[in-house]
Structure 1
């Protein structure tokens, strides 16, 4: 077994603990609240983790371009593991929330840095298959996570949902040790002032998605973001490099993925609820429908690398966005008439598009970028996906809550997603066909 395989195992484990944490927490959280109290603080267990893990993603990308991926990933895993230990030892809700922040500080680097290392080590053809493996891990975790959560709560104690991360975190670091980075990294100036303004602005905007009275948070976040742009225009070495926005390939791909995550990507969150309420379906059967997306995702992401070489980026982005839109139109028109099997097939098709486009987006963010900003470019796209998904799901939740019935609310959600999906079709025409030589990407038509 060569060293790359050891590294790959380490990256798989990193993805596994990230995926399991999300799914286990959802199952165990009611028990945690019963034992620690602080029901009014319940949502902050998730909000703090989400905030910290989201706003630190671009910083990890920036630092990885300066100090290398391996060191940063090992630090991120160590932070996550230490945070897990502290969470397991927490004896109050306030302590748990603080320690979840430490966990999130590590989680913010684990997935982006894993994707960056994959881009460094493997060819375009292999990256699609590797992303299919990572997608399968998330799918499996969505099934075994709640089971593990229930087991720890009932057979042991909720604290083991955190302590289980200790051996996994140690194993991850051990598998990463053999990895020798070939690239030379150049230490440059870090614009912490820009990162602070950026982080505060995004935090306020994300908080607005979790609070009942978001108006002033939105206003403050927008003002902060405008201030960030004004300050960064005068900065010689801005936190977000100018080349990220002058490069046509990166700009068009990132904008596409942001809007795409705002649209149909978040609708799957509400499908089980719709089936339970409208068809009186069991929790198990309604949740099982989401396996369709995982199945389609694997088939879509696996051949993505080979298809890029054969067809180029633009054609694949166009096909993926058009098929998503057509399947979304079917959902909008016929959601109330579709059988379980029919819905499963439609969601499998959408899952195929998700897998294909997410693989394309990740590879494009690496191949369109100059080598010295590849880490920042990859992490920025992952950050934009997270923002798009969070905001999109929040908007959908509001739309459903304002529907006269759940069925009408769901239909309105599909209409919202459908409108945005037409924008993604338009944006797909702006994406370059092929990766250009370094320094010439911005000239592509």
Structure 2
């Protein structure tokens, strides 16, 4: 009986185990079915709607139209920044104007700096297409004058027109790239055009003229109906709507700005090289220009919200004073100012170093300058990774680029003093990388901070870069000429040591000092060495003169906020009546110093920023963040 009980117990136990396994199998099958249903449901939820797919396709086509049509205009603007970099001494020598060689640079940078904000407002009023075509036409005229120049004045006029054109092209292209797109899409567009800058430096003025002609046709055919319209275009192109459109332009502000910037540049260009720094010819334009520059911001303040608003109710400030409520506007402008000083210094004074000190021909000096280009390219490529992949923010590349650029220029100064060409080449790569890293993040940062004022914000940034370059070059030119004059005066044997040969005399054709490099090459070897040593020290002190600018940018960069190019929640799609809403334009931004926000807690300082789309044209100009 006991045995039977055991057998019965085992049978019951086996039955329970079998039932348990059957239950587990059924549960597994049910779980698998539920998991399969969840996977299918997730796939269906992840699958974009037809409307979203159509929107993505439209944006992809729009992007390629922009790239194909704006490539040549952007190339034009990039070319003219350095088109005569290594040939400046030879061009000035050809016209017997070596003492005035800075004017080849200054004529371009003066106009390219002063007219940038004006083109930003023209693009808003008359539309992007009209602004692009006007700038391209000016480039065609300016390139023709430069290529056919028979006199010094004709050459400078051509360079000035090229400068106006470059202001319009660079400002308008950057505005177009930021129109109606998210920061993520803007980063992709800027990635392509940042690379374009790196291949633009070896093309000459004649080629520039051909590119300008072709650009006219491409812009008209491809982009005429694609670009954002201005107030004049939206109200029709009839003559009756032209006067109301002109009435919205900030005419007085534009005049104050152009005169202020132009006179400041003129005074710094004359100081020390043409006239003494304390002469009336130098102090008058600097003081008057400074007053006009200050009056411009006062005028903008009262035009936006003060008494002038009632007198000119239809006018829109060219650079609204309220933009400076956010200190990132000022900090970013300082970074751009310093970047311009660093970039221009390498393109022009390293070229002068190789031609005057190392006695390289222009072609070989140009090859040496190419060391800066891979640095720019490497910096741009790194910026693409930092902006598009990780960390997809702007603070890190801006800070890293500022640090590398400052270090690179400091070591370029050391390399020139020691005449160590290999180190100089390496430091040009380093300085170029620092500048390249900051190019794209600066544009994205400005777009994120002021999404509803794209034209004004980007115009200000585009202005700060060449303005910094112009001021930097003119300061360097003054220091260079002063140091070179005193250095040459100390060379034994030149006119009996009387010092009659100076930096100015080396170009004006006075006496023996025919202002040309040929005169230096014709001196006895000992005197050549003395002149070249004086030139080396003059270039070194010229670089030392701009190091404080880079130091200031290094300090102010710490106070920058931050912009997230790819926010955590990228896309929200929902169907309401069969309509899909795409909210990829939203990004996150911090307006307080980012390092302070990290210490206190980043999330509580974040704001949502979205671009001003066509549909928002009637919105308030106040912040949408």
Output aligned runs, 1:262-273, within 5 Å. 262-263=341-342, 265-273=344-352
Q: Shift of the alpha carbon at 1:94?
A: 6.6
**Structure 2 counterpart of 1:434, from 556, 559, 563:** 563
2:545 counterpart SS class? helix
Q: Shift of the alpha carbon at 1:21?
A: 5.1
The CA distance in 1 between the partners of 2:148 and 2:356, in whole Å, is 39
Residue matched to 1:419: 548
Residue matched to 1:168: 214
Name the TM-score, length of structure 2 as normaliser: 0.59
Are residues 50 and 434 of structure 1, via their aligned partners in 2, closer, same or farther at CA, if it must alter by over 3 Å?
A: closer
Q: Shift of the alpha carbon at 1:378?
A: 0.8
Q: Does 1:221 align with 2:289?
A: yes
Q: Does 1:131 align with 2:131?
A: no
Q: Deviations over 1:298-338 (max 9, x none)?
A: 11112424413633322222222222233333334444446
Residue matched to 1:177: 223
Which of the two has greater helix per residue?
1
Q: Does 1:323 align with 2:404?
A: yes
The CA distance in 2 between the partners of 1:29 and 1:287, in whole Å, is 13
Output aligned runs, 1:39-438, within 5 Å. 49-81=108-140, 104-120=163-179, 123-138=185-200, 142-145=201-204, 164=210, 167-174=213-220, 176-177=222-223, 180-181=226-227, 189-211=248-270, 212-213=274-275, 214-236=282-304, 237-263=316-342, 265-308=344-387, 310-311=390-391, 312-337=393-418, 339-371=420-452, 373-403=453-483, 404=487, 405-435=534-564
The CA distance in 2 between the partners of 1:358 and 1:110, in whole Å, is 16
The CA distance in 1 between the partners of 2:302 and 2:141, in whole Å, is 39
The CA distance in 1 between the partners of 2:589 and 2:229, in whole Å, is 21
Q: Is the 8 A contact 2:341 2:471 kept in 1?
A: yes
Q: Shift of the alpha carbon at 1:440?
A: 7.2
1:330 counterpart SS class? helix
Q: Is the 8 A contact 2:476 2:542 kept in 1?
A: yes
The CA distance in 2 between the partners of 1:279 and 1:42, in whole Å, is 19
Q: Deviations over 1:352-374 (max 9, x none)?
A: 11111122212222222122x10
The CA distance in 2 between the partners of 1:46 and 1:278, in whole Å, is 20
The CA distance in 1 between the partners of 2:98 and 2:359, in whole Å, is 29
The CA distance in 1 between the partners of 2:404 and 2:103, in whole Å, is 37
Are residues 425 and 106 of structure 1, via their aligned partners in 2, closer, same or farther at CA, if it must alter by over 3 Å?
A: closer
> Could you say which structure has the larger radius of gyration?
2
The CA distance in 2 between the partners of 1:38 and 1:424, in whole Å, is 35
Q: Deviations over 1:281-304 (max 9, x none)?
A: 443333212111111111111242
Q: Is the 8 A contact 1:15 1:110 kept in 2?
A: yes
Q: Does 295-304 or 410-419 show the bigger shift?
A: 410-419
Gapped regions of structure 2 (runs ≥ 5): 1-59, 235-244, 276-281, 305-315, 488-533, 566-585, 595-625
Q: Is the 8 A contact 1:64 1:72 kept in 2?
A: yes
The CA distance in 1 between the partners of 2:98 and 2:593, in whole Å, is 54
Q: Is the 8 A contact 2:175 2:454 kept in 1?
A: yes
Residue matched to 2:491: none
Q: Is the 8 A contact 2:142 2:161 kept in 1?
A: yes
Q: Deviations over 1:78-104 (max 9, x none)?
A: 343356668889998777766765555
Are residues 348 and 123 of structure 1, via their aligned partners in 2, closer, same or farther at CA, if it must alter by over 3 Å?
A: same
Choose between structure 1 and 2 for higher RCO, CA contacts under 8 A separated by at least 6 residues: 1
Q: Deviations over 1:334-393 (max 9, x none)?
A: 44446433322221111111111122212222222122x101111111111111101101
1:434 counterpart SS class? strand
Q: Is the 8 A contact 2:125 2:248 kept in 1?
A: no
Q: Is the 8 A contact 1:124 1:306 kept in 2?
A: no
Q: Does 1:7 align with 2:66?
A: yes
The CA distance in 2 between the partners of 1:40 and 1:270, in whole Å, is 14
Are residues 256 and 342 of structure 1, via their aligned partners in 2, closer, same or farther at CA, if it must alter by over 3 Å?
A: same
Q: Aligned residue pairs: how many?
A: 427
Name the TM-score, length of structure 1 as normaliser: 0.80
Q: Shift of the alpha carbon at 1:217?
A: 1.0
1:239 counterpart SS class? coil
Gapped regions of structure 1 (runs ≥ 5): 150-159
Q: Deviations over 1:137-190 (max 9, x none)?
A: 32xxx3342xxx6xxxxxxxxxx6786356324334245436524688687933
Are residues 407 and 31 of structure 1, via their aligned partners in 2, closer, same or farther at CA, if it must alter by over 3 Å?
A: closer
Q: Is the 8 A contact 1:130 1:302 kept in 2?
A: no
Q: Is the 8 A contact 2:121 2:456 kept in 1?
A: yes
The CA distance in 1 between the partners of 2:250 and 2:364, in whole Å, is 50
The CA distance in 2 between the partners of 1:260 and 1:40, in whole Å, is 26
